[in-house]
Structures are given as structure tokens and as C-alpha cells.
Structure 1
């Protein structure tokens, strides 16, 4: 089911408040997608931190899928790109409480089959870059920066 961007933006503050009260344990993935020419993909989400450039990704349940399977699913849902789970390599895994929840976040990387994307309502904008300087002084996700130095 596709949720319109306006509903994602409207619901995001309530979800973050709920996380701070409930403090659930969650699992998430972020995907650093690359092209053979050295470019990598950055996205701006249409909800929550809409000005910050970051990586595509989302949550998953470890009992149902691996981080690689979750990354492949999220990349397909958000960008329309089909990448096999076996094509992903784990860069890092960390536990964070940044959003008020106990989140195990795994950052993975893979080569994209194409630079053509079909953006879901979750993604406001996507760009292929050679260097972060192409974004000027735009705010950047700590996970994007972490993935690029791995």
C-alpha cells in the first residue's frame, strides 16, 4: 500500500513522539548504491527530516528477512531498482537511540543496475553524485557520511 507523502509528513512527528515514550527495539537498513563510474545515490525523504540528504532504507523484522533482503526490498519500494540481496555487502552495523528507540542499523552497499529510478512517495528527490561537494552546504545524514568513509 502506497502512502501519500503528505500523510507521511503529517504522521512523522507523532511516530517520533511514540518512539520516545515507548522506546521500542527496531531494526533498520540504509543502502549506499553505487554506479561503476564511481557515482553514488543520495536521497531526500518526503517526511521527517526533509532537508537532509541521506540514504534510502527502512525498517525490517529479523525473523522475516535478513538485512540484505530488507535493503533489496527497500531499494525496490523506494526507487524501483531491482538488486538481488546477494549483491549487497554489509559496511557496518550499529545500535543507535537517536530517534528515541533502540535501533540496530545496518548500512549496506551494492552496485545499482541502472541510474534510472522511479521514486515512491517516501522519496522527495534522488541524485547521483561523484562528490558530496555537489550538494553545497546542504545538511547531510550521519549515516550517509559514515557509509562513504567505510
Structure 2
């Protein structure tokens, strides 16, 4: 089920407040996608901080799928790209409380075979770039910066 971007934006503050109260344990993935020509993908989400350039990704349940399977699913849902789970390599796994929850976040990377994207309502904008300067002066996600190290 696709949720319209306006509902994602409206619900985001309530979800973040709920996380701060409940402090749930969650699992998430972020994916650094690359093209053979050296470009990588940065996205701006349509909810939360819509100015921040970040990595695509989302949540998952480890009992139901691996982090690589979750990354492949999220990439397909958000961007319309088909990347098999075995194409992903883990860059890092971090435990964070950044959003008020106890989140185990895995950052993975994979090469995309094509650069044609079909954005879901979760993604406000996506750009294939060679360096961060091409994204302008907007804020950058700490996970995007970490993945590019």
C-alpha cells in the first residue's frame, strides 16, 4: 500500500514522538547504490527533514528477512530498481538512538545495472552524483557521509 507523501509528512512528527516515549527496538537498512561510472545515489525523503540528502532504505524484521533482502526490497519499493540481495555487501552495522528508538542500522552497498528510477511517494527527489558538491548546500545525512568514507 502506497501512502501519499502528505500523509507521510503529517504523521512523521507523531511517529517520532511515539518512538521517544516507547523507545522500541527496531532494525533498519540504508543502501549506498553505485553505478559503474562512479556515480552514487542520494535521495531526499518526502517526510521528516525534506531538505536532507540521505540514503534510501527502511525498516525490517530480522526474523522475516536478512538485511540484504530488506535493502533489495526497499530499493525496489522506493526507487523501482531490481537488485538481487546477493549483490549487496555490508559496509557497517551501528546501534543508534538518533530518532529516539533503539535501532540497529546496517548500511549496505551494491552496484545498480541502470540509472532509471521510478520514485515512490516516500522519495521527494533522487540524484545520481559523482561527488557531494553536486547536491548543493543542503544538509547531508550522517549515514550518507559514513557510507562514502
Instruction: Note whether the superposition's TM-score is higher than 0.5.
Output: yes
**Aligning the two structures, in what range does the TM-score lie when normalised by the shorter sequence?**
over 0.9
Q: Any runs of at least 4 consecutive aligned residues in structure 1 with deviations exceeding 6 A, and if so which?
A: none
* TM-score computed with the length of structure 1 as normaliser: 0.99
- Superposition deviation, residue 136 in structure 1: 2.2
Does structure 1 residue 79 correspond to structure 2 residue 79? yes
1:1-150 correspondence runs (5 A):
1-149=1-149
- Superposition deviation, residue 138 in structure 1: 1.1
Unaligned runs of 5+ in 2: none
3-state SS in 2 of match to 1:21: helix
- Alignment RMSD, CA only? 0.4
Q: Output the CA distance in 2 between the equivalents of 1:125 and 1:112.
A: 18
- Superposition deviation, residue 38 in structure 1: 0.2
3-state SS in 2 of match to 1:11: helix
- Superposition deviation, residue 49 in structure 1: 1.1
- Number of residues of Structure 1 aligned to a counterpart in Structure 2: 149
* TM-score computed with the length of structure 2 as normaliser: 0.99
Unaligned runs of 5+ in 1: none
Q: Output the CA distance in 1 between the equivalents of 2:125 and 2:75.
A: 14
Q: Deviations over 1:74-99 (max 9, x none)?
A: 00000000000000000000000000
Q: Output the CA distance in 1 between the equivalents of 2:118 and 2:137.
A: 26
